[in-house]
Amino acid sequence: MKFSEMPYARPDLDAVKQQFADLLARFKAAATYAEAHAIFLEEEKLNKHVDTLAQLASVRNTIDTRDKFYDEEMNFWNEATPQLQECQNAWSRAMLDSPFRADFTAEYGDLMFLNAEIARKCFKPEIIPEMQQENDLTQEYEKLLASAQIPFEGKTYTLSQLTPLKSDPDDARRLAAWQADAKWSMEHAAELDELYDKLVHLRDSMGRKMGYEGYTTLGYYRMNRNCYTKEDVE
């Protein structure tokens, strides 16, 4: 199946959240590992289905940010994704507390439990509004970059199309490509600076709500850094 042929339909958010809640309740009530494992696979399947829909909308929106249908779909996902993360975090907590944790570890290894511990450190329901705003600002930033129309050597390029020319073996051509890129960036400096400023303050607020000194610690957890820390980088 070609990517263009993959079916997409906006899911019913309330119905999906209820599906996650039902799976969570069944998982907590499981009497045996076999029962818990079967529900675990159901949750994995639901997660993959929802994530596939979200990624389809995101990629198709990125391909053409002027497509009003997928622009509206991204507005939906910007609001929905943080709510679904609350469901996923509740599942992670249940996995960590499961009486069958040792059985899951024996079959799958302990990495998913390490990642679940990290996920627990980077989410609280209190930051859902900020996460939704962050998604909107990120989408606005991506649309601004995608809108770039840069004149170069008699043709018009997007930022992505210009990128290979910035590594051209000819010094003069490479310099000219970088200058064309910089000219566009400077012409939109005010918009870029405003988005950056809003995101910095928003993420700092998220970090403090999570109990951290600011965003840095939360940022590491959100990148799922499970094998090195900020201290290692320093």
Residue 182, judged by CB atoms within 10 A of its CB (0-12, 13-18, 19+), counts as exposed
Q: Residues with Cβ < 8 Å from 125, sequence gap 6 or more?
A: 86
pLDDT at residue number 66: 84
Residue 13 has φ and ψ, to the nearest 5°, of -60, -45
48 pLDDT band, cuts 50/70/90, is very high
Distance CA 92, CA 134 (A): 23
pLDDT digits (tens, 9 = 90+) for 94-116: 999 999 999 999 999 999 999 99
Q: In angstroms, how far is the first alpha carbon of the chain from the final one? A: 46
pLDDT at residue number 118: 93
Q: Residue 37 pLDDT > 90, yes or no?
A: yes
Which of 19-28, 62-71, 109-118, 188-197 is least confident? 62-71
pLDDT at residue number 211: 96
* Pairing label, strands 155-157, 150-152: antiparallel
pLDDT digits (tens, 9 = 90+) for 108-154: 999 999 999 999 999 999 999 999 999 999 999 999 998 899 999 99
How far is C-alpha 74 from the chain's CA centre? 12
Both tokens assigned to 154: 């008699």
Distance CA 113, CA 41 (A): 16
Q: Residue 27 pLDDT > 90, yes or no?
A: yes
pLDDT at residue number 110: 94
pLDDT at residue number 21: 98
64 pLDDT band, cuts 50/70/90, is confident
pLDDT digits (tens, 9 = 90+) for 74-98: 999 999 999 999 999 999 999 999 9
Residue 218, judged by CB atoms within 10 A of its CB (0-12, 13-18, 19+), counts as buried
pLDDT digits (tens, 9 = 90+) for 158-172: 999 999 999 999 999
DSSP strand E in 25-134: where?
A: none
pLDDT digits (tens, 9 = 90+) for 171-226: 999 999 999 999 999 999 999 999 999 999 999 999 999 999 999 999 999 999 88
Reference 76, options 14, 154, 159; nearest CA is 14
pLDDT at residue number 175: 98
The sign of the dihedral angle between the CA atoms of 112, 115, 121, 122 is negative
- How would DSSP label each residue in 40-68? HHHHHHHHHHHHHHHHHHHHHHHH-TT-H
Q: Residue 228 pLDDT > 90, yes or no?
A: no
Average predicted confidence (pLDDT) for the chain: 95
Task: Kindly state the helix (H) or strand (E) to which residue 28 belongs, with its residue range.
Answer: helix 13-29
